[in-house]
Amino acid sequence: MATRKARLLMGVLFSLVLVAGACAEEQPVEPGDGETESPALEFTTIQEGVLQVGSCLDYPPFESVEGGDEVGFDVDLIEEMASRLGLEVEWVTADFDTIFTAVAGGEFDAVAAASTITEEREQIVDFSEPYYNSRQALVVNTEETPDIAGVADVGEGDIIGVQRGTTGKAWAEDNLVPQGAEIRTFQGAPAAFQDLAAGGVTAVVNDEPSSAEIITELPGLEIVEAIDTDEKYGFAFSPENPELTEAMNQVLAEVIADGTYQEIFQRYFPGVEVPPEFQPS
Amino acid sequence: MWEGSMAVTGQPDSQLDRLESTAERRLARSAAMILGVGIASIVLALGGTLVSTLANGIVPYQRLVEGLRSTPTEVILDVGLGLGAVAIALGFAMYRRMPTKRSREQSIAGAVLGIQAVVVGLIILVFRTFGDPDLFIKLFFNAGILEGHLGAFVRGALNTIILAVTGELGGIIVGLLLAMLAMSKRAVVRAPARVYINFFRGTPLIWQLSVFYFGFAIGLGIRPAIDVGPIQLSSAYTIAVIVFILNTGAYAAEVFRAGIQSIERGQLEAARSLGMSYPQAMRYAVIPQAVRRVIPPLMNEFVILIKDTSLVLILGLATGELELYTTAREGYSDTFNASFYTAAAIGYLAITLPSIWAVNRLERRLRSGLVGVGA
């Protein structure tokens, strides 16, 4: 008798725990009284007061880790935007090739990973307004293959290193494979560049700004051609959370208008002119 | 052999001949009917629904949804559910009154099949009516989006098999050598073998792949790429094979050691007493017997290795070198559609299930003549 009652109680407790765990905690957030003049914005985040941001954190100068802290253009920008909404940023590491489905599925609130706004991605996430204009770059190891001076020199027998899930990979597949090159895919960008430095691949196609940053650490690498693909970066949000997207767009516009964007931009891209659409009004 | 399992087969019920009353004979025969109803119910609820859904076509995915929602499917499902309910009711009501053990088992079996039919049927019904079959099928069973990727998947399956087979075969050779060393009487011979085995069993396979590829190949520039005639393998691929061989070798060594040491001492002593030297005794008496014992765990390791090949994800692979999981992952990251993963699952099952079946058959053949616990 005692064991039967005990078992019944355990069963009930267990089911209660399951039910409790299944309910996500979502509570509406009011922005703190910060320095913003915007009207109170209603939005929800997975955890109250916290903006969980998914990123690869291996992509300088946009997002990387130095001495235990997250640094980078994306990092500073989104932390500034979040603080204006009264949110603290919590960084979540994720693989790039599944990061969009992850945010769409509610694994985190936002993606800040130097992500290009594309039509395919727009079908599963909501992007913020563009916050950076980018191009692709063809990076070559000038010690191993000094004869490759541009895209036209890539041909039969050349191996192009790309990162899985990136627009660089898509571009290389569309433009270099017809020229006879072969594609080798890596999970992360640093691996592709390391292989290039070691002479394993002939070239790497990756976003220009981070390529420029990464090759300063590896010997013999050079950007031989910048490829204009009219790409713009955006922060990605779950399509189920349009209020958050709206709120972030508003603070992004403010950050640009009052000159903070320019400040952050010049911190990471010194000597480069801020594009007119991102200059303070 | 326990009577119960025989009772459901279609052999004539000899117990029936001993019965006098016709009423009892009729009762016993009705049990067979209940079983029939139970079988029919599950065939319809599960099989019939599946066939009716697929009959409408797979490409594009909307056809599957239509097939699921169509009237014939609904009819089959309802009939299946109904029959299942009938089987449950009759089976559980009548089994106690059955005269023979066989008819009792048939009655219960019919009722249990009815329960299975009702459960499966209800799940399908609920999903069909209240769920979102459109979204689910679009994301997981979208054959249309897989069109054009069939070649890639076949290549992927081939790569998975190549990696697993070479890893296993190489590992067996390495493992046998290691086992011999690990069983040596001399501690100086045993120690390095032990260290090797513990290291490769103690570290994760994904870590081993990372270190060998990023550390040795990219870092130190040791690139064992193969470019011999038609065989062109990148260093990532060869390193993967090498690491699989080294890793499997460690596990195989343990299997061999345990297998050899499980042979009774008496066998070795008997062989020695016949005048064989220690190596001869091992080769002619002990190892042939040990082979029987080590083959099942080795083949088990093979099945595990088939799935571990997916770890090459972390290496830089050329397009023709992607195995099943990486093929699926690439497709997914291009389209954000999980049907690629469904296809990979089917691929893995197509490789592992026959292997498991072959292992079981081999095991039964090896054990024939031996009288053990399982008999």
Instruction: For chain B, give the longest Cα–Cα distance.
Output: 89
Question: Alpha carbon A20 to chain centroid distance?
Answer: 33
Instruction: Output the tens digit of pLDDT for each of chain B's 375 residues.
Output: 444 445 555 555 566 666 667 777 788 888 888 888 989 999 988 888 888 888 888 878 888 888 888 888 889 999 999 999 998 998 888 888 888 888 888 889 999 999 999 999 999 889 888 888 888 888 888 888 888 888 899 999 999 999 999 999 999 999 989 998 998 889 999 999 999 999 999 999 999 999 988 888 777 777 777 777 667 777 788 889 999 999 999 999 999 999 888 888 888 899 999 999 988 888 888 888 888 788 888 988 999 999 999 999 888 888 788 899 999 998 888 888 889 999 999 999 999 999 888 888 887 887 776 666 654
Residues of chain B with Cβ-Cβ distance to A186 below 8 Å are 315-316
DSSP reduced 3-state for A106: coil
Distance CA B58, CA B87 (A): 33
pTM of the model: 0.77
pLDDT in tens, A195-243: 888 888 899 999 988 888 888 888 889 898 888 888 899 999 999 889 9
Provide the shortest C-alpha distance from residue B152 to chain A (in Å).
14
Pairing of strands A159-163, A132-141: unpaired
User: Chain-wide mean pLDDT for chain A?
Assistant: 85
| Residues lower than pLDDT 50 in chain A | 23-38
Q: Encode B197-228: b = buried (16+ Cβ within 10 Å), e = exposed.
A: beebeeeebeebbbebbbebbbeeeebeeeee
Domains assigned to chain A: 42-131+234-278 (3.40.190.10), 135-230 (3.40.190.10)
> What's the pLDDT score for residue A43?
84
Q: Identify whether the C-beta of residue A211 lies closer than 8 Å to the C-beta of residue A135.
A: no
The answer to whether the Cβ–Cβ distance between A97 and B314 falls below 8 Å is no
Residues of chain B with Cβ-Cβ distance to A206 below 8 Å are none
How many Cβ atoms sit within 10 Å of the Cβ of residue B71? 8
> What's the pLDDT score for residue A24?
45
Burial class (CB in 10 A: 0-12, 13-18, 19+), A30: exposed
Instruction: Name which of A164, A206, A218 to mutate to probe chain B: the one with the most chain B Cβ atoms within 10 A of its Cβ.
Output: A164
The answer to whether the Cβ–Cβ distance between B316 and A191 falls below 8 Å is yes
Domains assigned to chain B: 3-141 (no CATH), 159-317 (1.10.3720.10)
> What's the pLDDT score for residue A33?
38
Determine contact: A142 vs chain B, CB below 8 A.
no
The amino acid sitting at B172 is I
Which residue, among B313, B181, B163, has the nearest Cα to B245 in the 3D structure? Answer: B163
